[in-house]
Structure 1
Amino acid sequence: MADSAAPTSRPTTRFSDTLRAENAETWEAAATHRFVTELFAGTLPDENMATYLVQDYRFADGFMALLGAAVATADNYDSRHRFAQFLGEVAGDEDTYFRQAAAELGADTSVPDTRATEGFKQLFADAADTRNYAAILGVLLVCEWLYLDWATRPENRDHGTAENGYPTRHVHAEWVRLHDYPGFHQLIDFLRAEIDRAGARSEEDAALARKYFRRTVDLELQFFGEHR
């Protein structure tokens, strides 16, 4: 009598991995953009870094409102609590960095919004207005995961001038550090687990996550391109 082999289970691809794979070309272009490599090398002109930070800070208000929408639409206390913590981090260390870096670089804060900045403001408002957790996560995951990716990539670190692969100058190095510390890595793990769970709830949730994930990746690449 032949031995009957136990059925083997096939590994399941995570929804978050699928979303990234579906946008791989744009994601790669953003994560390895000239803006990023020059940031690590310390050769990014001050004018470019200054305008980038000014524009990024322009949609910080909308981003915090989107985090508030995540708190409101999450379906359990632990998730709400984590988003509340993250909201405090954005309003704390990151806000301090923006203000200090803008002053150091002599940034002109009167410049008009760029097209990508206008796009991000509209994106955050649109996602919040859906009152759909999966849609909101589709935006938040890209905004954080893409930054973790470029901040930790070995090929980007190869351009770094400090021993740890970071840039030497503080205004550059601190922007990398804000997207590469243990708590930030844990945040990405949390966001990925949440969108994996939310995307599995229904076809509608998965479709909204896809739609907003793609819009965000496209805007991230456009934003880098506007500043280098």
Structure 2
Amino acid sequence: MSFSEALRETNADDWDAAKNHRFVDEIFAGAVPEAVMRRYLVQDYQFVDRFVALLGTAIATADRFEARVRFTQFAAMITSDENTYFLRAFDALGVPEAERHAPAITTATAGLQALMQEAAASRDYANALAVLTVAEWLYLDWADRPSAALPPSFVHAEWITLHNNDGFRSFVTWLRGELDRVGAASDPRRRESAADFFSRAVVFERAFFDHIYA
């Protein structure tokens, strides 16, 4: 079992709860209540800045030029295609400017923001990889339902297709391989640190899905 597979297995309960969450079933059915989808996207948008900063840490601490290139390309997608989706969805849902950029931050959102900042501040490539792998692999895992029809609203459909297209799938496969490679080359202390970041990221991701219905 690879390092990434072992980490997911260790956190299977929270991982599966997020993957099979009510939110996932409802977004594929196009049935997420508008207030819930609005709350979800507004809170999720608050991660973009910290997430891009974490990608910057991965670029700065990677041990291979090829990895820097891959993360740079992914950062360009986040700040273009994904950012544009958020803005269009906010327009469709009638989200005012103040709520887009300065909403009341929930506990779950604050926890994930702090974890991303902590991983970035560690200046350790393995820690950055662990958090990034959870953020992207878990989303691919729930979004990758090849036989499922897309819902009619772009607000639902494009959030799915942003996380299950071939380019994203290829990036997640590479990201897992990078975590496996770095984990195999690391000493036990460094692997334990990366595993801790991975576990906390999974817990927060599940909590984030849960709290939008609260």
**SS of residue matched to 2:8:** helix
Residue 120 of structure 1, CA deviation = 1.2
Residue 74 of structure 1, CA deviation = 0.2
Q: Who wins on radius of gyration, i.e. which is larger?
A: 1
8 A contact 1:127–1:139 mirrored in 2: yes
Task: Confirm or deny that 1:167 pairs with 2:151.
Answer: yes
* 1:9-61, Cα deviation, whole Å (9 max, x unpaired): xxxx1111000000001000000100111111111111110110010111210
Across the two proteins, how many residue pairs are aligned to each other?
A: 208
Distance 1:72 1:100 in 2: 32
Task: Confirm or deny that 1:205 pairs with 2:190.
Answer: yes
> Could you say which residue in structure 1 is the equivalent of 2:73?
85
* 1:49-79, Cα deviation, whole Å (9 max, x unpaired): 0110010111210000000000001001000
* 1:114-166, Cα deviation, whole Å (9 max, x unpaired): 11110111011100011111111110000000000000146xx6xx5xxxx22
Higher alpha-carbon deviation: 165-174 or 139-148: 165-174
> Could you say which residue in structure 1 is the equivalent of 2:105?
113
Q: 1:65 aligns with which of 19, 36, 53?
A: 53
Q: TM-score, normalised by structure 1?
A: 0.88
> Could you say which residue in structure 2 is the equivalent of 1:225?
210
List 4+ stretches of structure 1 deviating above 3 A: none
- RMSD between aligned residues: 1.2
**SS of residue matched to 2:104:** coil
> Could you say which residue in structure 2 is the equivalent of 1:193?
177
Residues 21-36 of structure 1: matches in 2 within 5 Å? 21-36=9-24
Distance 2:91 2:152 in 1: 19
Task: Confirm or deny that 1:132 pairs with 2:132.
Answer: no
Residue 215 of structure 1, CA deviation = 0.7
> Could you say which residue in structure 1 is the equivalent of 2:135?
143
8 A contact 1:29–1:221 mirrored in 2: yes
- Answer 1 or 2: which has greater helix percent: 2
- Give aligned-pair identity as a percent: 47
Q: TM-score, normalised by structure 2?
A: 0.94
Question: Could you tell me which amino acid in structure 2 is paired with residue 210 of structure 1?
Answer: A
**SS of residue matched to 1:43:** coil
**SS of residue matched to 2:189:** helix
Task: Confirm or deny that 1:179 pairs with 2:179.
Answer: no
8 A contact 1:30–1:221 mirrored in 2: yes
Unaligned runs of 5+ in 2: none
Distance 1:101 1:174 in 2: 10
> Could you say which residue in structure 2 is the equivalent of 1:18?
6
Question: Could you tell me which amino acid in structure 1 is paired with residue 193 of structure 2?
Answer: L
Question: Could you tell me which amino acid in structure 1 is paired with residue 165 of structure 2?
Answer: Y
